[in-house]
Amino acid sequence: APLAQLDTSAWSCLDWHDWFGHFGKDYQPAESDPVFNQLTLAYRAVQQGMGIGLAWDFMADDAVASGEMQQVTDLAMVTERGEYLVSLRHRQLSPAAQLFHDWRLDSVGSVEARA
């Protein structure tokens, strides 16, 4: 199956070069591999059977659990990259941003409790 490529030239996102490099392998994409400039497009293409893609657990877990998508390897890449919620110092978070902030803190706490 082709590997769904993500054009990461405009932002810092993991791609197949990073994946294979992490496991000590050289990688050169096939000319016939589909290339997408948005993560959601690449993810949707994989859902439609157009190839194999990279995904974060939070994006793919439900689809894998339901059988909609298949995990093709047990290999996982853990990075030091993090998520940030930023806002202006002198302005309160909007209700939606506060809800997201609280949800993220709760989910991080539940992950740490499992570790």
50 and 91: one domain? no
Q: Domain count for the chain, please give it.
A: 2
Q: Are residues 56 and 87 in the same domain?
A: no
pLDDT band at 64 (very low <50, low <70, confident <90, very high): very high
* Residues 46, 95 share a domain: no
| Residue range 86-101, pLDDT digits in tens | 777 888 888 888 898 8
SS (H, E, C) 9-29: CCCCCCCHHHHHHHCCCCCCC
Residue 85 has pLDDT above 80, yes or no: no
pLDDT 10s digits, 34-53? 999 888 899 999 999 999 99
Average pLDDT over residues 78-82: 73
Residue 46 lies in a domain: yes
In a domain, 75, yes or no: no
Do residue 45 and residue 17 come from a single domain? yes
Q: Which domain holds residue 97?
A: 83-115
* Burial group, residue 107, by CB count within 10 angstroms (0-12, 13-18, 19+): exposed
Residue at 57 is within a domain: yes
Question: Would you give the DSSP letter of residue 67?
Answer: T
